[in-house]
């Protein structure tokens, strides 16, 4: 199992385990908005995301600061793909084409997330995405993996975890506290199995 580790900042609310949608906001057409319009559109974008967060339609929102094509992530509290698309396409930067949105259905256990108060008081967290490798059927691996995650949760290092529910190249996603060391990721049984 391969893991992609990114750094992101999140505003988190208190969800229960249930189907949701993860939205990866990707770089879109940079010419969709002029340089003169961008500051106002960016402000509208942040206000819209804050409204999703405050209304608890978004359980987690944040920019990804690793400088790649992925610009941000949102975990939308909707099992309904059409509703999730409506919510994310309400974002002025997505609507304009400046950002594109990739939605993947996810069953999230984010029971350790706590509402952080002010939307813009975000702290960096570790986002771990486990990719499908074809070697995912090692006997007992997923039971060992689940026990390892439970240990991370008890130590208050795991904020959210769960599998992607749609066929994709990704298996599951974890959100870890900033204090989680790289060894916590390297020791994930699914990562150690390759």
Kindly report, residue by residue over 70-98, the tens digit of the pLDDT: 899 888 888 899 999 999 999 999 999 99
* Residue 87 phi, psi dihedral angles, 5° rounding: -65, -45
Strand ranges across the sheet with 2-12: 99-108, 18-27, 70-76, 58-63, 2-12, 123-131, 170-176, 158-163
Higher pLDDT, 133 or 2: 133
Q: Which of 92-106, 142-156, 174-188 has the highest mean pLDDT?
A: 92-106
| Mean pLDDT over the full length of the chain | 80
Which residues span the domain enclosing 136?
2-192
Q: Flag whether pLDDT at 17 surpasses 50.
A: yes
Kindly report the pTM of this predicted structure. Answer: 0.79
CATH number at residue 84: 3.30.70.1060
% pLDDT > 70, the chain:
78
Structural domains of the chain, count: 1
């Amino acid at each position: 199992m391969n893991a992609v580790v990114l750094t992101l900042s999140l505003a988190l609310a208190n969800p229960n385990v249930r189907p949701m949608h993860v939205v990866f906001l990707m770089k879109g057409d940079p010419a969709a908005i002029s340089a003169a319009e961008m500051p106002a559109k960016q402000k509208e974008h942040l206000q819209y995301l804050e409204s999703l967060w405050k209304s608890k339609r978004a359980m987690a929102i944040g920019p990804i600061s690793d400088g790649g094509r992925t610009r941000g992530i949102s975990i939308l509290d909707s099992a309904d793909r059409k509703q999730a698309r409506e919510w994310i396409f309400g974002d002025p930067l997505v609507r304009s084409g400046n950002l594109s949105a990739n939605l993947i259905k996810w069953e999230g256990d984010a029971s350790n997330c706590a509402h952080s108060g002010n939307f813009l008081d975000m702290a960096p967290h570790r986002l771990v995405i486990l990719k499908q490798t074809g070697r995912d059927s090692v006997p007992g691996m997923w039971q060992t993996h689940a026990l390892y995650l439970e240990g991370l949760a008890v130590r208050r290092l795991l904020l959210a975890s769960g599998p992607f529910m749609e066929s994709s190249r990704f298996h599951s996603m974890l959100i870890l506290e900033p204090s989680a060391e790289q060894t916590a990721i390297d020791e994930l049984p699914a990562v150690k199995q390759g």
